[in-house]
Amino acid sequence: MKIKINGTVYELDSVTTIDDVLQHFGVSYAHGVAVAVNYDVISKDRIQTQTVCEGDEIEIIRATQGG
């Protein structure tokens, strides 16, 4: 299926949940990471159950320190 992640379209056939997407890209859903699907922020308790559909737009945001 084709999904857009942080503005880039990817063809991913082996993902069914947001957790699968994060694992595919090597992202640990820990402190400092936020995920939105189609502009809806996904709570931490929904990461493993929120399904991914064809055409979804996913934003993965990592908090950083700096000044």
The count of other CB atoms within 10 Å of the CB of residue 18 is 23
The pLDDT score that the predictor gives to residue 29 is 77
The pLDDT score that the predictor gives to residue 30 is 73
CATH number of the domain enclosing 57: 3.10.20.30
The pLDDT score that the predictor gives to residue 67 is 64
The number of domains in the chain is: 1
In a domain, 8, yes or no: yes
Contacts of 25 (CB under 8 A, 6+ apart): 5, 60
Model confidence over 31-57: pLDDT tens digits? 789 999 999 999 999 999 999 999 999
**What DSSP character marks residue 44?**
G
Model confidence over 16-32: pLDDT tens digits? 999 999 999 999 877 78
Q: What is the pTM of this model?
A: 0.87
Residue appearing with tokens 């992202």: 27
**Structural domain span for residue 29:** 2-62
Environment class of 8 (CB within 10 Å of its CB; exposed 0-12, middle 13-18, buried 19+): exposed
In a domain, 67, yes or no: no
